[in-house]
Amino acid sequence: PDYPQTPPVVRFCSEMFHPNVFQDGQICLDLLRGPGWSPSYDVCAVLLAIQSLLADPDTHASPEGGANPDAESLFVRDRQSYNARVKALVDKQLDEDDIGCLSAVP
């Protein structure tokens, strides 16, 4: 609402299995939180930060624990099983052909 003075609201609307994504789709990323935000960040910087986080999860994102402890645990202890679970979720979503994600975030 007050972008660029405050960070934009960014979340996934499809189900994600990732250490830094909460069940409701919110992303655990300092850049998207008040203290980590700077009005000098543009949309490109936000998207690059999210892309980087998705490719290289931060398993120590917050002292109170990760956004998705199950995903974090599997990512750390059994990467092959983690990758298989993510692939199965993506395949399921592709089969459902759900394009509801294109709607605006309130």
Domain boundaries, the chain: 1-106
**pLDDT at residue number 49:** 96
Reply yes or no on whether 28 is catalytic. yes
Q: Which of 13, 28, 44, 101 is catalytic?
A: 28
Q: What is the percent of the chain with per-residue pLDDT over 90, rounded to a whole number?
A: 73
> CA-based diameter of the chain, in Å?
41
Q: Write the class of the CATH domain 1-106.
A: alpha beta
Euclidean distance between the first and final Cα of the chain, in Å?
10
pLDDT tens for each residue of 13-38: 999 999 999 999 999 999 998 788 99
**pLDDT at residue number 104:** 47
Give residue 64's pLDDT band: very low, low, confident or very high (50, 70, 90): low
**pLDDT at residue number 51:** 97
**pLDDT at residue number 72:** 94
